[in-house]
Amino acid sequence: MPSHKKRPVLLTEAGREELVRITVTGVHPASMIRRARVLLALDTSMGEIDFGEEIAARLEVSGETLRLVAKRFAETGGDVHATIGRKKPAGPPVPSPVTGEVEARLIKLACSTPPEGYSRWSLRLLEKHVVLVNDIPDLDHSTIGRVLKKRNCVLI
């Protein structure tokens, strides 16, 4: 495993004690305990370490797990808690097209009289009319239904 040579894991005394406490108490998520054990096994501050295959077999993890934990330890600048904890998401993967203004325009359209030939608005009819309006982004009928349901608007 070349990951130890590229990214050596050097733990401080306080970091090592914290990792030992996490692995011994057993009140943490299993993934956190597993990453803490991997960090302890990869620690080179106490001397030379075993080969990656031996560590992986002893801890019952894959070589890829060893590599990823060592990489994350290097990326976090040696922060033990950031390495073993969950990553915080940067934000929603896709911003919602429904803003307050879009929501207001959609409700206004749903409360207006339906087009000629129709007795009431349906979600699919609203979807067709939203496409025709320039200042409202194209929305799916299910999205329109969620917006209207959120505001307790009933199509009559």
- Domain membership flag for residue 156: no
Question: In the predicted model, is pLDDT for residue 143 greater than 90?
Answer: yes
- Do the beta carbons of residue 97 and residue 106 sit within 8 Å? no
For residues 18 and 68, membership in a common domain is answered with yes
pLDDT tens digits, residue range 60-98?
Answer: 999 899 999 999 999 998 899 999 998 888 877 888 889
What pLDDT is recorded for position 101? Answer: 93
CA distance 10 to 42: 8
Confidence band of 155 (pLDDT split at 50, 70, 90): confident
CA of residue 91 relative to chain centroid, distance:
8
- Domain membership flag for residue 90: no
- Domain membership flag for residue 133: yes
For residues 71 and 116, membership in a common domain is answered with no
Answer with the one of 56, 84, 112 that is the final residue of a domain. Answer: 84
Question: In the predicted model, is pLDDT for residue 37 greater than 60?
Answer: yes
For residues 80 and 104, membership in a common domain is answered with no
Question: In the predicted model, is pLDDT for residue 4 greater than 70?
Answer: no
- Domain membership flag for residue 93: no
For residues 78 and 127, membership in a common domain is answered with no
For residues 21 and 61, membership in a common domain is answered with yes
Q: To the nearest 5 percent, what fractions of the chain are helix, strand and coil?
A: 55, 0, 40
pLDDT tens digits, residue range 89-124?
Answer: 887 788 888 999 999 999 999 999 999 999 999 999
- Domain membership flag for residue 123: yes
- CB count within 10 Å of CB 151 equals 12
Averaged pLDDT, 2-22: 81
Residue-range definition of the domain harbouring residue 134? 100-150
Write the secondary structure of 50-106 as one string of H (helix), E (strand) and C (coil). CCHHHHHHHHCCCHHHHHHHHHHHHHCCCCHHHHHCCCCCCCCCCCCCCCHHHHHHH
For residues 63 and 114, membership in a common domain is answered with no
pTM of the predicted structure, to 2 decimals: 0.58
- Domain membership flag for residue 71: yes
Cα first-last separation, the chain: 67
Confidence band of 5 (pLDDT split at 50, 70, 90): low
**Count of the separate structural domains present in the chain:** 2
- Domain membership flag for residue 28: yes
For residues 49 and 118, membership in a common domain is answered with no
Arithmetic mean of pLDDT over the chain: 87
- Domain membership flag for residue 94: no
For residues 10 and 80, membership in a common domain is answered with yes
